[in-house]
C-alpha cells in the first residue's frame, strides 16, 4: 500500500490518501491543544505513544467484538484505517465526575457516578463542541435514532471492556470520548483512544495520567503517557 497526498491536517493527526480508496493513512503528531485550540504546545513523543496506545485499544476491542476503523500500524506514529464519513457527534462516557461534568453539575472531581453517564456533543470547532441531546441530533440531521441507539450501546460496551482491562493494570477509567463514522454504510468506531481522549487515574494514588496534565500545567506530561503505555504493554 502506498501513502499518497495529504487530505487533511487536524489538531493531533494528519490524514493521507492511499492507493486504496477504502483506506486512509494516519500520522499522529506531537502537537497538543486544549480549550478549543486556545492553549497550544507540544508533548514529546505524544504522536508515537497515542498511535501505539490507540492501536492497542482498537485490537483489544476487536478481540471483544467491537469493530473500528483500525487496520494496522505502519510505523511508530502511523496507522492505516478504513475511510470514514464521520458522524459529527462526539460521544462521552463517564464513570467518575471530572472536567466539564464536575463543573456543569457542581460535583466534586472524583465523585463516583451512581450510574454510567453518556453524553453527546456537537463536533464543531466554531461552536466549541456544545452539549446536545437526541432532539438536537434529529433536528440537525446529524445521525438517525437507530444509529444513535447503536452508538450508545457500543459506547457502553467499550466502557465495560476498557474499564475492566485498565482496572487489572491499577488504572481507573474516569471518562473518555469516542467518535463514529460510516464506512460503505457500516457504522464503525473511529478516531483514537488515548490519553488525549480519555482520563486515566492511578487507582491508588489518583494521580492523573492523561491530557489533564497538559491542560492544567501539572508537569510530567510525557511521563504520564509513557506510564499508561507501560501499564498496558509492560514496555
Q: Return residues touching ligand 5GP (CB under 6 A).
A: 90, 92, 98-101, 129, 175-177, 196-199, 211
CB 121 → ligand 5GP: shortest distance, Å?
Answer: 6
Between residues 60 and 107, which has the closer beta carbon with respect to ligand 5GP?
Answer: 107
CB 177 → ligand 5GP: shortest distance, Å?
Answer: 3
Rg (CA), the chain: 17
3-class secondary structure, 158? helix
Task: Return the residue matching grid coordinates 505502519.
Answer: 74
CB 34 within 8 A of CB 211: yes
- Torsion angle, alpha carbons of 174, 43, 17, 124, to 10: 50
Between residues 69 and 199, which has the closer beta carbon with respect to ligand 5GP?
Answer: 199
What is the SS3 string spanning 41-98?
EECCCHHHHHHHHHHHHHHHHHHCCCCECEEEEEECCEEEEECCEECCEEEEEEEECC
Which residue is nearest to ligand 5GP, using beta carbons?
A: 99
Between residues 55 and 96, which has the closer beta carbon with respect to ligand 5GP?
Answer: 96
CB 80 → ligand 5GP: shortest distance, Å?
Answer: 21
CB 125 → ligand 5GP: shortest distance, Å?
Answer: 9
Between residues 211 and 213, which has the closer beta carbon with respect to ligand 5GP?
Answer: 211
CB 90 → ligand 5GP: shortest distance, Å?
Answer: 6
Between residues 3 and 118, which has the closer beta carbon with respect to ligand 5GP?
Answer: 118
As a whole number of angstroms, the distance between CA 102 and CA 153 comes to 24
Give one word for 115, left, alpha or beta, with left for phi > 0 and alpha for psi -120 to 50: beta
In the numeric block, which cell numbers belong to residue 195?
490519553
Between residues 23 and 199, which has the closer beta carbon with respect to ligand 5GP?
Answer: 199
As a whole number of angstroms, the distance between CA 28 and CA 47 comes to 4
* CB-based burial label for 178 (10 Å; 0-12, 13-18, 19+): buried
CB 42 → ligand 5GP: shortest distance, Å?
Answer: 15
Amino acid at each position: 500500500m502506498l501513502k499518497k497526498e495529504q487530505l487533511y491536517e487536524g489538531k493531533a493527526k494528519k490524514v493521507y490518501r492511499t492507493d486504496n480508496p477504502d483506506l486512509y493513512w494516519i500520522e499522529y503528531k506531537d502537537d497538543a491543544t486544549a480549550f478549543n485550540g486556545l492553549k497550544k504546545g507540544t508533548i514529546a513523543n505524544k504522536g508515537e505513544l497515542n498511535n501505539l496506545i490507540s492501536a492497542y485499544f482498537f485490537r483489544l476491542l476487536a478481540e471483544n467484538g467491537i469493530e473500528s476503523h483500525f487496520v494496522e500500524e505502519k510505523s511508530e506514529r502511523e496507522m492505516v484505517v478504513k475511510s470514514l464519513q464521520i458522524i459529527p457527534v462526539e460521544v462521552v462516557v463517564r464513570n467518575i465526575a471530572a472536567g466539564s461534568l464536575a463543573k456543569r453539575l457542581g460535583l466534586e472531581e472524583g465523585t463516583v457516578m451512581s450510574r454510567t453517564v453518556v453524553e453527546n456533543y456537537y463536533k464543531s470547532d466554531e461552536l466549541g463542541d456544545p452539549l446536545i441531546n437526541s432532539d438536537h441530533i434529529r433536528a440537525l440531521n446529524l445521525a438517525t435514532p437507530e444509529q444513535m441507539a447503536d452508538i450508545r450501546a457500543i459506547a457502553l460496551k467499550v466502557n465495560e471492556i476498557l474499564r475492566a482491562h485498565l482496572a487489572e493494570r491499577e488504572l481507573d477509567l474516569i471518562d473518555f470520548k469516542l467518535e463514529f463514522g460510516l464506512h460503505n454504510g457500516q457504522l464503525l468506531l473511529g478516531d483514537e483512544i488515548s490519553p488525549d481522549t480519555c482520563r486515566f487515574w492511578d487507582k491508588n494514588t489518583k494521580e492523573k495520567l492523561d491530557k489533564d496534565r497538559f491542560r492544567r500545567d501539572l508537569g510530567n506530561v510525557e511521563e504520564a503517557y509513557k506510564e499508561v503505555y507501560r501499564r498496558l504493554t509492560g514496555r
